[in-house]
Amino acid sequence: MAFTRRQILAGLGALGIAGLGAGGVRYWLGRPENAASHDYELIAAPLDLELVPGHKTPAWGYGGQAPGLELRCRQGERLRVRFINKLDEPTTIHWHGIRLPLEMDGVPYVSQLPVLPGEYFDYDFITPDAGSYWYHPHTASSEQLGRGLVGPLIVEEREPSGFAHERTLCLKSWHVDEQGAFTDFSVPREAAREGTRGRLSSINGVALPTLELPAGQVVRLRLINVDSTITYRLNLPGAEARIYALDGNPVAPRPLGKDYWLGPGMRLDLALRVPAAGTELSLRNGPLRLATLKSVASAQAAGDWPPALPANPVAEPDLAQAETLRFNFEWAAMLASSNQTGPARYWQINGQAWDINDKACADRPIATLKKDGHYIFVLRNMAQYQHPIHLHGMSFKVLDSDRREIVPYFTDTYLLGKNETARIAFVADNPGVWMFHCHVIDHMETGLMAAIAVV
């Protein structure tokens, strides 16, 4: 395809960029000089973080923070972001979960050319679905996401949702040592297993934060797993919490239950009824505390549970006419031990491993779907490690699984458990070449990715 031209940055003066500050934050989100062409100027740049007290971590951030600045827009409206690359290497932005035209999908050599240092690219698309989404690069992903290039994108409902309060919580663990220095983002031994985990967990870039919430109110917590590896087993002991949306898509509200497994790339919208002032709740990953939720006095009258969120306009697949395709996700032991050149390949889909250095991989899609055709994908995990399987460009409906009870729901990422077989279905209504991959970043980079063409 022909790519939209990248633009060379004319000069920083015109862009409203903050000067080099001593405090670590070197750039922030600029005010657009020309509001006719874009609503946000989002800059990716180096940023020193103090993740470990008394130590500096040389992170990379969007809009002067890591995780990046929260972008917001309304369902059905246009989001226009001038993305400016102030890093020393090429990058892109991919808008995870947004159903948009291929030219805006941010995959280098598939949807656009990489944005080189000093260049900018105007992203401009309509956000058809309300919910909690996020953005990240699709280049050198283990390092770029690992250093902090991840950020939330919130698409508000067309009409007020009934939640008077909300908080966005980006969950990320950092690959840093006790002095705050980065450790390897991807270690071969781990990439061939569950993925390389960071040591220091954080919410919105802070380890073990205390979040204050208004007593008696119902607060929408938008939990976004922006981590490269970890599946969080989320629980809130003693809390009155209900699930309102999964991965951006509304579900009939139901209690949180014991543990919700939130894989990399996935989102969970919870409603929490905040207990009496002075109470502390613990948001946990399994038995480990991630944050303290502290209830503080509120002058407002007590809130009630809002109604279910309105469904997103995702096409309903017709199972009776759908064509079934099978995808096996395998561990490639032989590939892993052979004396190959190029990047390691530990994983494969239907016997094929994606090579992140081969720009032509997308020319060999693993499946070609007919535009507006109905499809069932049978996803089979042949390994003992779980894979959050993600599709770009379209949302799919999870139908069933041989391992767990599924209430069918729409999503863009399904956490395929060890040795699990699950079925998903969707209408192939978005033409293009779409990435289909595991969101454990070092699985993706060592083979677990493919392209799906819709023509």
> Which of the ranges 7-15, 18-26, 170-178, 439-447 carries the binding residues for Cu ion, by CB under 5 A?
439-447
The whole-angstrom distance between residue 111's C-alpha and the CA centroid of its chain comes to 18
Least Å distance, CB 413 to Cu ion, is 8
Binding mask 126-145 for ligand C2O (x = CB under 6 A): ----------x-x-------
Least Å distance, CB 389 to ligand C2O, is 11
Contact 433, 451 (CB under 8 A): yes
Question: Of 248, 244, 270, 251, nearest to 409 (Cα)?
Answer: 251
Residues 415-434 that bind Cu ion (CB under 5 A): none
Cβ atoms within 10 Å of 359's Cβ, excluding its own: 11
Helix, strand, coil % over all residues of the chain, rounded to 5: 5, 45, 50
* Contacts of 450 by beta carbon, 8 Å cutoff, 6+ apart: 327, 349, 350, 352, 354, 365, 366, 367, 435, 436, 437
Selection from ligand C2O, Cu ion, none that 437 binds (CB < 5 to 8 A by kind) is ligand C2O
Q: In sequence order, which ranges of 82-217 are alpha helices (DSSP H)?
A: 141-146, 188-191
- Select 256 or 450, whichever has its Cβ closest to Cu ion: 450
The whole-angstrom distance between residue 303's C-alpha and the CA centroid of its chain comes to 30
- Give the residue at shortest CB distance from ligand C2O: 96
> Which of the ranges 278-286, 334-342, 415-423, 431-439 carries the binding residues for ligand C2O, by CB under 6 A?
431-439
> Which of the ranges 6-14, 157-165, 198-206, 379-387 carries the binding residues for Cu ion, by CB under 5 A?
379-387
- Please give the Cα distance from 276 to 217 (Å, whole number): 10
Selected binder of Cu ion within 100, 367, 440, 450 (CB under 5 A) = 440
* 96 touches ligand C2O (CB under 6 A): yes
Least Å distance, CB 138 to ligand C2O, is 6
- Please give the Cα distance from 78 to 75 (Å, whole number): 8
- Please give the Cα distance from 60 to 67 (Å, whole number): 9
Q: Which residues pair with 218 in a beta bridge?
A: 273
Q: Where are the beta strands (DSSP E) in 226-349?
A: 232-235, 240-246, 249-255, 260-262, 267-273, 280-285, 288-296, 323-331, 347-349
* 380 touches Cu ion (CB under 5 A): no
Selected binder of Cu ion within 26, 387, 423, 437 (CB under 5 A) = 387
- Select 30 or 388, whichever has its Cβ closest to ligand C2O: 388
Pairing relation of β-strands 387-391 and 413-416?
Answer: antiparallel
Selected binder of ligand C2O within 114, 263, 265, 447 (CB under 6 A) = 265
* 345 touches Cu ion (CB under 5 A): no
- Please give the Cα distance from 211 to 51 (Å, whole number): 17
* 267 touches ligand C2O (CB under 6 A): no
Least Å distance, CB 29 to Cu ion, is 22
Selected binder of Cu ion within 64, 443, 445, 446 (CB under 5 A) = 443
* 392 touches ligand C2O (CB under 6 A): yes
Count of residues near Cu ion by CB under 5 A? 6
Question: Of 71, 84, 80, nearest to 124 (Cα)?
Answer: 80
* 149 touches Cu ion (CB under 5 A): no
- Please give the Cα distance from 25 to 216 (Å, whole number): 36
Selected binder of ligand C2O within 94, 220, 267, 397 (CB under 6 A) = 94
* Continuous segment of H or E residues that includes residue 335: helix 333-337
- Select 215 or 353, whichever has its Cβ closest to ligand C2O: 353
Count of residues near ligand C2O by CB under 6 A? 10
Give the burial class of 313: count Cβ atoms within 10 A of its Cβ; 0-12 exposed, 13-18 middle, 19 or more buried.
exposed
Least Å distance, CB 349 to Cu ion, is 10
* 195 touches ligand C2O (CB under 6 A): no
Contact positions vs ligand C2O (CB under 6 A): 94, 96, 136, 138, 265, 390, 392, 435, 437, 439
Contact positions vs Cu ion (CB under 5 A): 96, 387, 392, 438, 440, 443
